[in-house]
Amino acid sequence: MSVLNPPPDALLARLEARLGPRGFTRDEDDMAPWLTDWRGRYHGRAAALVSPASAADVREVVTACAQAGVGIVPQGGNSSMVGGATPPAQGGVLLLSLRRMNAIRTVSAEDNVLVAEAGAILTHVHEAAAAAGRRFPLTLGAKGSATVGGLVSTNAGGTQVLRFGPMRSLVAGLEAVLPDGSLYEGLSALRKDNRGYDLKQLLIGAEGTLGIVTAASLRLFPAAASRSVAWCGVATPSAALALLRFLEDRTGPAVESFELVPRRALDLVLAYVPGTRPPLAAPASWNVLVEAVDAALEPPLVEAAEAGLLGDAALAVSEAQAEAFWRLRDSISEAERHSGPALKHDISVPVAAMPAFMESAAAAVEQRFPGTRVIAFGHLGDGNVHFTVGAPPEADGAVWLESEALAVSAFVYGEVGAAGGSISAEHGIGQMKREALAATVSPVRLAAQRAIKQALDPKGIMNPGKLLPG
Amino acid sequence: MSVLNPPPDALLARLEARLGPRGFTRDEDDMAPWLTDWRGRYHGRAAALVSPASAADVREVVTACAQAGVGIVPQGGNSSMVGGATPPAQGGVLLLSLRRMNAIRTVSAEDNVLVAEAGAILTHVHEAAAAAGRRFPLTLGAKGSATVGGLVSTNAGGTQVLRFGPMRSLVAGLEAVLPDGSLYEGLSALRKDNRGYDLKQLLIGAEGTLGIVTAASLRLFPAAASRSVAWCGVATPSAALALLRFLEDRTGPAVESFELVPRRALDLVLAYVPGTRPPLAAPASWNVLVEAVDAALEPPLVEAAEAGLLGDAALAVSEAQAEAFWRLRDSISEAERHSGPALKHDISVPVAAMPAFMESAAAAVEQRFPGTRVIAFGHLGDGNVHFTVGAPPEADGAVWLESEALAVSAFVYGEVGAAGGSISAEHGIGQMKREALAATVSPVRLAAQRAIKQALDPKGIMNPGKLLPG
């Protein structure tokens, strides 16, 4: 990729004049919160923080940077898990925040479409859809800070992918500023549009390396009237998958979440997270949290129990109990933190291969790295689990992480590759997984990706140092 | 785009030796059926017809052509509506048929995935899914000849898009030979995979201009136990859309088809298609054919009638009656042919804009071109109608088509553009709409498409003369 230039003073002065004091700062204190990722793992520098108020502002910034060969790092809610929105450590780039562009432009219940600017926060999208009697189904833990632009650019997943798919399935149109400063006006929400290569599909998941998403048309669905939530004990991951298929056959698409929790993870939550209590009278080896919308889970669960597909089960009889079940699932990451240093992996394999993978890969890791403890949990129905390798209890955590991280992750990714899987299911590549990407995907795929990057961003100004290996 | 060479004799001899008599022919009679599109509008020539039996064969052909700068036209069921699979009139290319590669490689009910080679016919995919207790939902009129490769490459639509989306929503993975002869191995069906730019998304709808799809992983769904089909009379297209939203609110995603038929179209069918009879006792200005799967339409339709959302309605009480209703819808094109020459347009606009568009655009066309009669019908719920402009009854049809076609279509596309729509909803661009594409999409979109083509097929060998304007 081309060599970038630090922004010349004249360019900075021009942008400062255009964007005004709310839209331009070089103050270190003002910039500081946005130069480190929220997990505190990546630290970057930037020549300035620019905060455009409109797509026209964004065009101005990008056009100037394209001419001068200056790098731009777009940032939304700064909630990347892979350092995708943190500038390079050496600086010399502009950090471009979309947070001022946070309008919900339109909501159409008749069209089932909501148009939001890139900086709109997911929670606000949920609220705007609900106010129109509709529902935007994608949700995730960071919903209070994650922005539409970031969700689009990372093809975000979350807990409702089983039914509604990831962000890619929910984006009906995009507006974006391309690396040459031109404006791609593709907000028109067409259910069918076969006019050649779909640029929108490239921008989704491109992590800001092909342009800056400035607004998105999002698909809405009928509001959900009720949900049914149950906690089930099963013997194995295979039994869990069989239960999922059984429930889907009985309820059609009503099952929206199907989360697998091993006993180890539940025990950690019960030990470390205050106010939690066991969901079942007798602990099960594996647990499933299932949620169905506008359909009752009781009849199919009774039938499944009679067919021997599950052990104990508890059906939430109140919204409070449903929330308590979800809290057990959502507290796993927090509980893991209390239990010591660990390496996390966000991986996917084909759904049917996941049960065997969870058991065989965990065993292989624990054998290869004695003393480690694997906890794999999450979105079984999507073939996506969070695969955590805990440091041996007797090891110094920081030292272990430093010395073993690369080897452990490479081993995990090798197992993933052997199962036809992906080293990044929903978090993206960012700066964290660039080298792992190079090591694990085929040269054909990598060459095609590089050719696309070169074609659309020949100067390499968009989010330099992210996604594609150096 | 680069200048292509006719295939040298040495290349032809090498491919003949590799592919054998079943896989290679230069016989004019053998080639003839595949050199004209099924509607008989486009006629092409080819130096040879090659029919590879494997992806390795396809690689051999593409590699040889890439080295020699020879054009390749991929073809599946030859059922393109836009001449997308017909070689150029001047010939000098290879016609590459995927029909020998017609295996269903695997069907996994547990994974809800079926892997089919590019030449597998849609009907066979339906049957293979059903045999595993599953369902592949996409269907269309040409299902007995359309192939998986063609369906992928045109991002095909059909009658179940309302619920399941077009082909893009149903492709879980692809295998393809890229323009340099390399093999993209992306069949692994991952529900979540965020490893950068998704090449699969570019190949879907690329009409064979970025590579040759050799196999696809397709998503399956639970088999449908029953369907409920009704024919409803409504006053206006707006009333039809209100009825759709009402039914969706009551039945969730069960409504899979919602087809709008104007009285004019129904009258043509009843006049020209033997064995049809009126579905309602009293003719309605507008008609809706609605199908719900695994949900009863009677209760919500009764409720809708009480709310004044529809006039008469007939609920099919037998599969024979349901088929008769569908036959009325599916016979419109045939009836139109009997009623004289006409220009067809496959267009889309945002769903909420469609009712007004159907009335205003039809009126505008009939005013601008006196004597013409517009019939717009089809997939209202997708914002996609087939917009047919019939020649004035007193005109000589052939002469009228010859003299007015460009002006009429340009006018229709102008109305579509003003409504934020697409000149190709589901049929693609092929060779028919290349110039219309150039005239109607933004320079930004076109420049990005050209850059992508140049990046992945720098010699321009893949399906020359299709999709991108010359």
Rounded Cα gap, residues A14 and B204, in angstroms: 42
Answer whether residue A103 shows pLDDT above 50.
Answer: yes
Asked whether the beta carbons of residue A445 and residue B188 sit closer than 8 angstroms, the reply is no
* A3-25 residues labelled b (16+ CB within 10 A) or e (exposed): ebbbbeeebbeebbebbeeebbb
A46-50, A206-210, A251-255, A343-347: range with lowest mean pLDDT:
A251-255
Q: How many CA atoms lie within 13 A of B260 on its CB side?
A: 31
- Which one of A80, A168, A187, A192 makes the best mutation probe of the B interface by having the most chain B beta carbons within 10 Å? A192
Chain A residues 67-86 with CB within 8 Å of chain B: none
Distance of CA B451 to the CA centre of its chain: 25
What does each C-alpha distance from A181 to A34, A202, A312, A428, A457 come to in angstroms? 24, 17, 59, 25, 11
Structure tokens at B103: 């295996």
pLDDT at B1: 47
pLDDT at B305: 94
B43 strand-pairing partners = B36
Residues in B touching A423 (Cβ below 8 Å): 195
pLDDT at B59: 98
Do A289 and A243 form a contact (C-beta atoms < 8 A)? no
Rounded Cα gap, residues A247 and A303, in angstroms: 10
Asked whether the beta carbons of residue A198 and residue B178 sit closer than 8 angstroms, the reply is no
Rounded Cα gap, residues B133 and B401, in angstroms: 48
Residue of A nearest to B225 (CA): A249
Q: Which residues of chain B have pLDDT under 50?
A: 1
Which own/partner pairs from B391-396 qualify as long-range (CB within 8 Å, at least 24 positions apart)? Answer: B391/B340, B391/B341, B391/B342, B393/B340, B395/B371
Bigger pLDDT: B311 or A153? A153
Structure tokens at B435: 């110039």
Rounded Cα gap, residues B313 and A259, in angstroms: 43
ipTM, two decimals, is 0.94
Answer whether residue A374 shows pLDDT above 50.
Answer: yes
Chain A residues 115-154 with CB within 8 Å of chain B: 154
CA angle B54, B57, B58 (to 5 degrees): 90
Do A97 and A75 form a contact (C-beta atoms < 8 A)? yes
Structure tokens at B173: 């993975």
Asked whether the beta carbons of residue B437 and residue A195 sit closer than 8 angstroms, the reply is yes
3-state helix, strand, coil in chain A (%, to 5): 40, 20, 40
pLDDT at A1: 47
pLDDT at A252: 77
Do B313 and B305 form a contact (C-beta atoms < 8 A)? yes
Alpha helices in A307-419 (DSSP H): 319-330, 332-338, 354-368, 397-418
Do B74 and B149 form a contact (C-beta atoms < 8 A)? yes
Rounded Cα gap, residues A365 and A388, in angstroms: 11
Do A171 and B329 form a contact (C-beta atoms < 8 A)? no
pLDDT at A2: 59
- Answering whether pTM is above 0.90, one says yes
Asked whether the beta carbons of residue A448 and residue B197 sit closer than 8 angstroms, the reply is yes
Distance of CA A416 to the CA centre of its chain: 19
Q: Which of B212, B113, B121 is nearest to B170 (CA)?
A: B113
Could you tell me if B88 lies within 8 Å of chain A, comparing CB atoms? no
Rounded Cα gap, residues B348 and B345, in angstroms: 10
Across the range A20-42, mean pLDDT stands at 95
Measured in degrees and rounded to the nearest 5, phi and psi for residue B419 equal -95, 10
Rounded Cα gap, residues B391 and B401, in angstroms: 8
Residue of B nearest to A200 (CA): B201
Could you tell me if B382 lies within 8 Å of chain A, comparing CB atoms? yes
Rounded Cα gap, residues B89 and B96, in angstroms: 16
Nearest to A449 among B178, B196, B379 (CB): B196
Structure tokens at B321: 């009656």
User: Pairing relation of β-strands B71-75 and B93-97?
Assistant: parallel
Rounded Cα gap, residues B384 and B422, in angstroms: 9
- Which one of A115, A195, A202 makes the best mutation probe of the B interface by having the most chain B beta carbons within 10 Å? A195
Nearest to A190 among B108, B294, B422 (CB): B422
Rounded Cα gap, residues A114 and A412, in angstroms: 40
Rounded Cα gap, residues A207 and A149, in angstroms: 9
Mean pLDDT for chain A overall: 95
Chain B residues 299-338 with CB within 8 Å of chain A: none
Residues in B touching A189 (Cβ below 8 Å): 350-351
DSSP states of A103-115 as a string? Answer: -EEEEETTTTEEE
Measured in degrees and rounded to the nearest 5, phi and psi for residue A118 equal -60, -30
Residue of A nearest to B239 (CA): A110
Across the range A134-146, mean pLDDT stands at 93
- What DSSP state is assigned to residue B253? G
Do A157 and A166 form a contact (C-beta atoms < 8 A)? yes
Q: Which of B70, B85, B77 is nearest to B35 (CA)?
A: B85
Q: Which helix (H) or strand (E) holds B96?
A: strand B93-97
Answer whether residue A325 shows pLDDT above 90.
Answer: yes
pLDDT at A426: 94
